[in-house]
Every structure is written in C-alpha cells, then in structure tokens.
Amino acid sequence: MLMIRRKIVFIALTVSVMFACGGRQKAENDIEVKIDGLLSNMTLQEKIGQMNQLTGLGLSADMIHNVKNGRVGSILNELDPKTINELQRIAVEESRLGIPLIFARDVIHGFKTIFPIPLGQAATWNPQIVENGARVAATEATAVGIRWTFAPMIDVTRDPRWGRIAESCGEDPYLTAVMGAAMIKGFQGNDLADPGSMAACAKHFAGYGASESGKDYNTTWIPELQLREVYLPSFEKAVEAGAATFMCSFNDINGVPSSGNAYLNKTILRDEWHFDGVLVSDWGSIEQMISHGVAADLKQAADLAANAAVDMDMMGFAYINHLEALVQEGNVSESAIDRAVRDILRLKFRLGLFDNPYVEIREEMPFYTAEALAKAKQAAVESAVLLKNKDGLLPLGEGIKSVAVVGPLSDAPGDQVGTWCFDAEFEHSVTPLTAIRDAYGENIGINAEQGLTYSRDKNELGIEKAVTAARKSDVVLFFAGEEAVLSGEARCRADIRLPGAQTEMLKALKKTGKPIVLVIMSGRPLAIGEETEDADAVLLAFHGGTMAGPALADLIFGKAVPSGKLPVTIPKMAGQIPVYYAHKNTGRPGRNVSLIDDIPVGAAQTSLGFTGYHLDAGNDPLFPFGYGLSYTDFDYSEVRLSQNALSTGQTLTVECTVTNTGKYDADEAVQLYIRDRVASLARPVRELKGFQKIYLKAGESQTVTFTLTEDDLAYWHADMVKRAERGEFQVWISTDSQSGTPATFVYN
C-alpha cells in the first residue's frame, strides 16, 4: 500500500515537474514569437537605441528626448522611483513601439542593508548566507525600481594588491562558482518576472582578476588552458545558474580587449555555453578599445564590439553614433543587430517589464527590516576568520571588567560597509564601539579612544591617548584595517601592510603588557605577519557591513563562535604574490628553507640546497586558503572511501567523522580536496572539490560525506578537451588546504 502511495506521489510529482517545464518552455516560445513581432516592426535606429545604455540624468530634456525617440534601452544609476516611473511612462506610452526601459544599478553587497563585502561573504563558506544577502539586496533595490544589478563579480583573483579583490570571492574557481551561483539565485529569486527580483550580471567576462601586478584595468596574459581552468568555471556555472546577463571586463587577454573578443563572447559564451541573455559592455569599455590601441576611433570600436556579440554599450556612445553607418556599409550585419536586440528584448520580457513596467510607489520602503538586519549580522558573524587565539584569550571571559576600544575602525560607520556602497546610509551602520557599549556598557568599563582616527593617520598624540586608554583596561580591542576607499575599483596597493601608523600603535599598545585582540577590518587580506606576532588574538573581519559591530561584539564576548575560513591565501609580504594553495609542485618544491638571516657569511652557493622559495619569506604563506580557527576544537577521523577505485560512470563516496572535542557548540566548514598524482600535465598540489558547513554541539560527532565522479577528476588538456586521466588520486577531507592526511584511490 505504502509502495503504491509512494508511486502515485512520484508520478504526480513527475507530471507536475513536466508541466512546469512544459509551461516554462511554452512561455519562452511565446516570448520569441513576441520578439519576432517587435523586431519586424523596428527601424534600424530603434534597434540600435535598445543597444544603448545611458546613466541617469533625472528628467532632463536630453533623457526625455532619448527615451521618447527610442534611443536608449536601459538606464543605470537612476534611483528615484517617481523619476523611474515617469521615464518608463514616456518609454511605454510615448515612444513609437512602447518598449519598456530596464533600470540598473551596482547593488553589490547590499542596497541599504549592507552585508559583508563579497570576499567576506565567501569567507562564510555558507552559500545560504550569500543567497540571503542577495535576496535582501533585491528586495530593497527593486522597491525603488532597480531590476538589474551588476553583480555578482565572479572574477577569480590571486592578487590581494588588486583593489577589486574585495568584490570577489577570492582565489578558488570552485568556491567562487558556488558563491556566485548562490548570489544569482538570491538576486533573481524563483521567478525573474516577480517585481521583487533583479536580473543578475556575471562580471567581468573574463580574466579581469589576473590584471598584471594587481593594478586595475591592466593587461593580462592568460593561456587558454589557464583561462578555462581558473578564470572561466565560475562563469560557466553562472550560465547554468541562470544568470540573466553578463558584463565584459575592461582588460585585454593576450592583446584582445574583452569588449572586442569574439572568441570569448561568441564561441565560448554563446556557442559552447548556450547563453541567451544580455552581454553588456563595462562602462565605456567599447570606447576604451581606442586607448587599448586596437581601434583607431569610436567607429572602429563599435565595429569590433558589435562583431564580438556585445549586446549593449554602457556609456560608450559607440553604438548610438556609429552602428547605423556600419550596418549600411556592410561591416556589421543586420542579423548581428537583430541577435543583440533579441537578447535585450528577451531580458525585458523575462523580467515581466512589458506587462508590469512600473514600480509601486510606497509610503514605506522595505529597508533595514529586522529580518534583513538579522541576516546581515549573521553574515558578518560567519565571515569573520579567527587567525590566532593565544591561550584562548577569546572569547573574553567574565573576569574582564574593562576593555579599551581603540583603533581607526572602532567607530567608522562609513568604512565598515566597505567598497561599492553608494546607497548605504551610514547612520544605520552599527559600529563595534556602539555595539559593545550597547550590549556590555552597563557591566564593564569601556575606555574608548580611536587613537588614529582613520587608517592612514600617523598622529603620535592619538597613539598616546590610545595607550592611556589601554593602561586603564584589562584587555585592548584594537579595530584596525583599511578605510573603505582603499579597496574596490581602481584602489590597488603595491604595499599591502596596514596603512598609516597602525603597526606603531600596536607596538605602543603591546608595551602596556595588556592582552591585545586585533580585529582587522579591510577590503583585502593584508600582510599582517608582524602584527600577528604582537597581538594575542587576531580576527580578520573584512568590511562587515551595516551590522559589523554587533557581529564582532558577539564574537568577542562569546555569544557567537567564529567559523569563517579564508577564501584567499594571506601572504607574508607582497613580494610572495601570486601565492595560492592550488599551485603546481614544481620539479624542486620548496623545502629545507634557510632564510636570509640564517645563511652563514661566506656560505657556498651549493650549501643552501636548490629548492623553490624566497630567501626572505620562505615557501609558506602567512595563512593558507581555507584556514580559520574556532573557539572549540574539531577532530577529523581518517578519510574512508566506498571503494579503492573509481570507474567511468561510477561514483566514489568519500567520508570522515568530524568531532567537536572542545567546549563550544560551533560551525565548521569541512573541505574536500583532491590531487591527481601523475598526469600528462602537471596538476595542482590540491584542488577544492567540495565543502560542507556543519554545526556540531560540544562533544558531538558527524559523518560528513562527499561523492566524487569522473567529472571532478577531469581537467583541461592541450587539445581543449576536459577529461579525466586514469591513475592514482589523493583525496583529503580537512579543515584547511594544508592539513589532513589523504586517502588514495585509482581512477580506472
């Protein structure tokens, strides 16, 4: 009976899924028919107008003229719902064909309620947290009429000098792909046509994170194998996750700027991955092909971009000024224009803009709701990575009667939100000082003294004041880091140490003999080797957003337990860059390092050993990818395999038992890595293939299970085919990218 009932339920489910799929397919077919109808009615100028994206100018005469005459398809950075509706009314009622506009904005890690910077969100190793953040952003931004966000940024980067590392999910293709997909899901919701959903934009396609020397917009030289292995997987996953749009990157790859790169935009994105959404240029990136030196003028730039299947020109004025002539002269085919316009109209249909073009004008905006703030706080809690905790200083115990709250980030509402927060209202940021005062001010003494008032400050008097505050306190809480403006677009640094006199301030504080908790609030991993030595506990909190303060207060006083893990390797010094866990072993892996000061004077060249390392930095980073401590301890059992061999079409189950052996209930991000031992191309020493964040009460154990298939073992070969090679593999389940003992299996 039970079996029959199960079967009926199964059949009913299958039928409803088939109907849903069938329904979706029909809706998509209907859209194509409607687009056919529209396209057949559009003049060439109207088509080109759809391909033009302009920045908001309110209700200026110019903008009204452009909208009325069908000379603009999308507007970015217009934020007033009434203006949005009026422009939309002009498009729908007064333009010849009534095609609605799409309003776009960079809603990167929050609109009003700001979540941690994306790098911090990646440190949660919790895709649900990331999805929640994007959903909150969508709810808030769509309330003013924004239906298209330029996020997620899923550029893999291995260079903390690059300011845009803040906007990234770090160094790993797999982690970036998973987090990017979670953001897309959050922004787009279950139905793009829901007025509360925003089209996501996977950016920047592609290779931008490899900008030479970590300098923004710089050239990149990326062999196709590396492109496919490191920089493209997150974008392929974004297509699978249904990203409605993509954005070109500013950089050139091997001499070809992305906005003119037909191989990337047509062969890979459209032909291989079957992307049918909109590809927008970056701001002026079509026009910038003149500066790159591949186009003589704006007309040639338009020609290159249109022939490289870039659908929309963001603030480049190349298409609107030159496409018509290019078509008439036969350099750009009308079918290329139709394909681009089809993509744009498809997006507008998918967003439901033809049926529902206006934003509801509300009395009360759904900003900073209790639910949004709680989610932002949880994200900030889970993004913080505990790097050091000498003698279990953290969490602070009941014996602590007073704390000094010092440092430039202790009360900096505008800086804690981080980069790309144009719409944040800083009065809503709760700083660490405010949060600690609110939660603990009645029971413990709080000696607040920023000392340095901004991160680049070098004021010695300020340091003296902070030292005085420290002397009066049991513990020093030093909130250090970077101002928001030191990371993000065009905010690159060659020196990635703490700016200003923060290191000197730490040394002065250390002389007081008081225990020091160093909290780093920054847009990038900073080279904090010296500071890690000097401090007793170190918590890397990134720029944690609106609720960074309450989250840090909870972590410091033990209401929450750190569970963040590094999404990026922290170098000892900038000279180690690029330094990342998934490196190749080389023929002479770095071992037996003699550091520069250990080398005897007059030592013979041959006495040091010939292995790969830096004399002044050794071979290891300061902290490896995946690393992060907890207040509790986790024990990992041996890795168990379902069998010792994996054959084509089979799966291999890999598991281990994780036990919380400490005193605190806590979360742990359990990581799965593999290594292909012998392959026709040298393979990384480890590659992340899975992770699970689990919650264990003190004393509790859990079996954590992963499955591996042939796909997980496959890599790109010189013939541009991805396949697995037969032979021996190692597999780890571990707490970070450097620890653990591997098990071995054979792929046969």
d(CA 491, CA 215): 8
Tell me if 216 contacts ligand NOJ by CB under 6 A. Answer: no
What residues contact residue 675 under an 8 Å CB cut-off, 6+ apart?
A: 683, 684, 685, 686, 687, 729, 730, 731, 742
489 binds ligand NOJ (CB under 6 A): yes
Closest CB to ligand NOJ among 203 and 510? Answer: 203
282 annotated active-site: yes
Task: Compare residues 164 and 543 and give the one whose CB is closer to ligand NOJ.
Answer: 164
**Smallest distance from ligand NOJ to CB 735, Å:** 34
Q: CB-wise, 150 or 747, nearer to ligand NOJ?
A: 150
Give CA separation, 558 vs 264, 387, 664, 665, 747, in Å.
49, 16, 9, 11, 46
Task: State the nearest-atom distance from the C-beta of 209 to ligand NOJ, in Å.
Answer: 12
- Interactions with ligand NOJ, residue window 70-129 (CB under 6 A): 106
Residue with tokens 């990818």: 625
Handedness of CA 492, 494, 497, 500 (dihedral sign): negative
Q: What sign does the CA torsion over 572, 578, 579, 585 have? A: negative
Binding pattern for the stretch 446-485 against ligand NOJ, x by CB under 6 A and - elsewhere: ----------------------------------------
Using CB under 6 A as the binding criterion, the count of chain residues that bind ligand NOJ stands at 6
Nearer to ligand NOJ by C-beta: 235 or 745? 235
Residue 448's DSSP bridge partners are 405
Q: Are 627 and 736 in contact (CB under 8 A)?
A: yes
Smallest distance from ligand NOJ to CB 58, Å: 18
What is the x/- site pattern for ligand NOJ, positions 566-605, by CB under 6 A?
Answer: ----------------------------------------
DSSP 57: B
Site for ligand NOJ in 256-315 (CB under 6 A): 282-283
Question: Would you say 259 or 416 has its CB closer to ligand NOJ?
Answer: 259
**Residue closer to ligand NOJ, measured from CB, 167 or 415:** 167
Give least dist CB 659 to ligand NOJ, A. Answer: 44
Q: Which of 146, 120, 265 is nearest to 198 (CA)?
A: 146
d(CA 280, CA 303): 15
Q: Rule CB under 6 A: is residue 631 a binding residue for ligand NOJ?
A: no
Q: Is 673 in the site for ligand NOJ (CB under 6 A)?
A: no
CB of 106 to ligand NOJ, least distance (A): 5
Q: Identify the three-state secondary structure at position 665.
A: coil
d(CA 116, CA 546): 8
Q: How far is CA 113 from the centre of its chain?
A: 17
Q: How far is the CB of 206 from ligand NOJ (least distance, A)?
A: 13
How does strand 722-723 pair with strand 52-55? unpaired
In this complex, which beta carbon is closest to ligand NOJ, that of residue 3 or of residue 490?
490
Provide the 3-class DSSP secondary structure of residue 94: helix
Q: CA torsion sign, 495 to 500 to 502 to 504?
A: positive
Task: CB nearer to ligand NOJ: give 55 or 680.
Answer: 55
- Work out the widest C-alpha separation in the chain, in whole angstroms: 87
Nearest-approach distance from CB 64 to ligand NOJ, in angstroms: 23
DSSP string of 410-463, one letter each residue:
TT-TTTTT-SS-TT--GGG---HHHHHHHHHTTTSEEEEE-SSSSTT---HHHH
Cβ atoms 159, 211 nearer than 8 A = yes
**302 near 310, Cβ under 8 Å?**
no
By DSSP bridging, strand 722-723 and strand 715-716 are: antiparallel
Is 150 a binding residue for ligand NOJ by CB under 6 A? The answer is yes
Nearer to ligand NOJ, 383 or 419 (CB): 419
Cis peptide before 567 (omega within 30 of 0): no
Nearer to ligand NOJ, 46 or 106 (CB): 106
- Those residues with Cβ within 8 angstroms of residue 164's Cβ, 6 or more apart along the chain or in another chain: 153, 155, 157, 208, 209, 216, 487, 488, 489
Catalytic residue among 106, 172, 282, 303: 282
CA 470/CA 406 separation, integer angstroms = 8
Question: What minimum distance in Å lies between the beta carbon of 217 and ligand NOJ?
Answer: 9
Residue nearest to ligand NOJ (CB): 150
Among 203, 350, 388, 675, binds ligand NOJ (CB under 6 A): 203
Q: How far is the CB of 248 from ligand NOJ (least distance, A)?
A: 10
Is the dihedral angle over the CA atoms 254, 257, 261, 265 positive or is it negative? positive
User: In whole angstroms, how close is the CB of 53 to ligand NOJ at the nearest point?
Assistant: 9
Site residues, ligand NOJ (CB under 6 A): 106, 150, 203, 282-283, 489
Q: Catalytic amino acids?
A: 282
